Structure 1
């Protein structure tokens, strides 16, 4: 899997104030905040840490299981690109989920 470089650059800009670490994971580029994977960019969109009870995100028609055939509670893949208007909202939601966890760093 390649990385959508335009999407990765936009996510990088959105996370700039969080001082994320970047790491190659799952065939894509993962962004870690406070030691927790927050979002990951691949060639087919964005893997996002979500609140499993956030129906707005988990029921989004662009969302699909993070790993087909293997449910991962708290993670959804979104078919988005760098021009997606609500990308800041998706990234902010993921950061809020990570901020609710104890830091790993």
Structure 2
């Protein structure tokens, strides 16, 4: 998987107010907050952390299993472009989920 650099830059700008680190993972670029991955950018969109009751994301036709054939309860792949109008809402949702987790040591 390659990285959609336009999408990565847009996610980076949306996370500008957060203390983040970036790490190459899963063939893409992951954005971590307090050691937890919030979102990752690949060539086909986002891998994002979702809340267990996030019906509005899981029901979206652009959302699919993070790893086909393997259930990952709090993760969804999301086909989205850098210029998508709801990218900010999706990234904010993932950040909100990460902030509920204890910091990694």
Normalised TM-score (structure 1): 0.97
Q: Answer yes or no: is 1:61 the counterpart of 2:61.
A: yes
Unaligned runs of 5+ in 1: none
Q: Deviations over 1:67-86 (max 9, x none)?
A: 01111000000000101100
Aligned residue number for residue 41 of structure 1: 41
Per-residue deviation, residues 31-85 of structure 1 (Å, max 9, x unmatched): 0011100000000100010012110011111000000111100000000010110
Question: Is the contact made by 1:52 and 1:58 (CA closer than 8 Å) also made in structure 2?
Answer: no
Please report the TM-score for the alignment, with normalisation by the length of structure 2. 0.97
Which residue pairs with 1:22 in the alignment?
22
> How far 1:103 sits from its partner (Å)?
1.1
Q: Which runs of 4+ in 1 moved over 6 A?
A: none
Runs of at least 5 residues in structure 2 that lack an aligned partner in the other structure:
none
SS for the counterpart of 1:31 is: strand
